[in-house]
Chain A
Amino acid sequence: MYDKTVRRRRAVLALLVVLSLILLTAYFGESSGGGLHSVQRGFLTVVSPIQDGANKALKPVRDLFGWFGDTLHAKGQRDQLLKQNDKLRRELIANQSEKSSYQQLLAMYHLDNRLSVSDYRPVTATVVFKSPNLWYSTVIVDKGTSAGVRLNDPVINGEGLVGKVTQAASDGAQVSLITDSSMGVSARIEATSATGIVQPKVGDPNDLLLQYLPANTSVNLGQYVVTSGTLSSPNDSLYPPGIPIGQVTSIDEESAYKSVNVHPLANLHNLDVVQVLTSASGALPARLSNLTAGLATGQQTSAGGVTSSQLAATGIGK
């Protein structure tokens, strides 16, 4: 009887461990369109309405816990904001005197040709769940493919870049935040043309790393880092240019390339409402994304009618 119990216990353990390893290996090896990913998307589709309902029902509880934390941090934030307010007021006075000349320059260089966010057909979504894992900085939002959300769509909020869509079901989607270990965003220091790639520092959600800047790039503390509007890899999404990502906090000049630490502007701990830039079919950014992806893999593509002169005009691929 004892032997039978021991054998059964060991068999159950072995079965579960082997099953976990099979799942892990199969999931890790398959593409995002594979069977297990489909099961996961199906599960997300089924539980999305439940998650949405649970999220709304549990919001008071969450707010109560959040209130305690907010109160503890309120004093420090107030002092910081007062200092920031003084600084901004001084900057405002200086900027007002330069406003008129700036507008003339703006007209002269036709900067209004830049793509604005509204061209990317933003879809407003509510964050329903957030991963507690140190390795997965992801959130689940309540809008999916039925609202036009697709894989790799950029996600922003009022403060700046938040991340991109990495899984999409019909009524929900997973958004990988810019602090997720899988993320990489082409970015540049504002007011310069030097571009690099912003990557997270795994384990430190308040720090990003802008790498591969040319060594002669002039960078100052406090400068803003914005999206460059180019792709960091063929599978990446095309983030609209000029979206703020963060502020430079320190500079590392020890290697051949310059790298800077960046504090993200978006408060990723407290995401509630975000905008998914769906780049609806026919919009210029989506076409450019397709074209550059094709060029990077050496394939011929029609790119939905985008001509090489149009591509050259954007600066992508230079």
Chain B
Amino acid sequence: MSATSLPASLLARIATLVLVVVFFQIGVVSEVPVFGVNVDLSPLVVAFVGLLCGSTLGAVTGFAVGLLVDLALVQTLGVTSLIFTVIGFWSGRLRELRDPQAALAPLLVGVAASAVSTVGYSLVEFLLGVNAPVSLELLRQIVLGVLVNAVVALPMWAVVRRLLEPGMPDDPRRRRRRAYTTGGLSPLSRS
């Protein structure tokens, strides 16, 4: 999707989605541990915006979500932005290059985004220096976090798609489906 052709309604929908998800994440989801870890909706939203809207919008959304999270939680500014920018861009490129149609594609993208988020965060923290001893339990927490995120990936994909698709001007999948239901273009209807 070209950046110059972005409709204002789509941008407004993304901004609303980002604000609601970030505040819902830190206000509710973070308070409810599942198997000792927390679901993290932020990387899922960034990845799914990229998957629907392309790499440029995915990267910009990732940067904005990261900045908002770092500001709201008083964390080191720039770390989350950097990681989420990469996630948003990468998922957008996946859509532009492969346009995955499989039903489980969002699940795999969500798992990959969650893994990149937690592992990337740990790497950056190691690079910045850690004074305290690091437990091997961290690995278990990372794996558990990714698995828990995998459970919510498909419902989250449905929410993001339902919210953003009406604001998108040109969706190849919708166009493709329409071609087979209008009668004239389907090879089956000609026979």
Residues of A that sit less than 8 Å from B by CB? 5, 8-9, 12-13, 16-17, 19-28, 36, 39-40, 43-44, 47, 50-51, 54-55, 58, 61-62, 65-66, 69, 128-136, 138, 140, 166-167, 174, 181-184, 199-207, 209, 269
* Known pairs A138-B74, A166-B74 / 11 extra A-B pairs, C-beta < 8 Å: A17-B85, A39-B71, A65-B32, A131-B30, A132-B26, A132-B29, A132-B38, A167-B74, A199-B133, A204-B137, A207-B137
CA distance in complex: A234, B133 (Å):
21
> Which of these, B2, B28, B60, B82, contacts A12 with CB under 8 Å?
B60
Indicate if the CB atoms of B23 and A134 lie closer than 8 Å.
no
> Which of these, B77, B121, B138, contacts A23 with CB under 8 Å?
B77
The distance from the CB of B152 to the nearest CB of chain A, in whole angstroms, is 12
Q: Number of B interface residues, CB 8 Å?
A: 61
> Which of these, A12, A24, A132, contacts B77 with CB under 8 Å?
A24
Which residues on the B side are within 8 Å of A200 (C-beta)? 132
CA distance in complex: A221, B39 (Å):
34
> Which of these, A27, A50, A55, A203, contacts B141 with CB under 8 Å?
A203
Indicate if the CB atoms of B137 and A201 lie closer than 8 Å.
yes
A–B complex contacts, Cβ < 8 Å, 15 sampled: A20-B63, A20-B85, A27-B76, A65-B32, A129-B72, A132-B25, A134-B122, A135-B121, A140-B73, A167-B74, A181-B125, A199-B131, A201-B133, A202-B134, A203-B137
CA distance in complex: A136, B74 (Å):
10
Indicate if the CB atoms of A204 and B138 lie closer than 8 Å.
yes
Indicate if the CB atoms of B33 and A13 lie closer than 8 Å.
no
Complex: chain A residue closest to B86, CB-CB: A17
List CB contacts (< 8 Å) of B74-100 with chain A: 74-79, 81-82, 85-86, 89
The distance from the CB of A32 to the nearest CB of chain B, in whole angstroms, is 11
CA distance in complex: A138, B124 (Å):
18
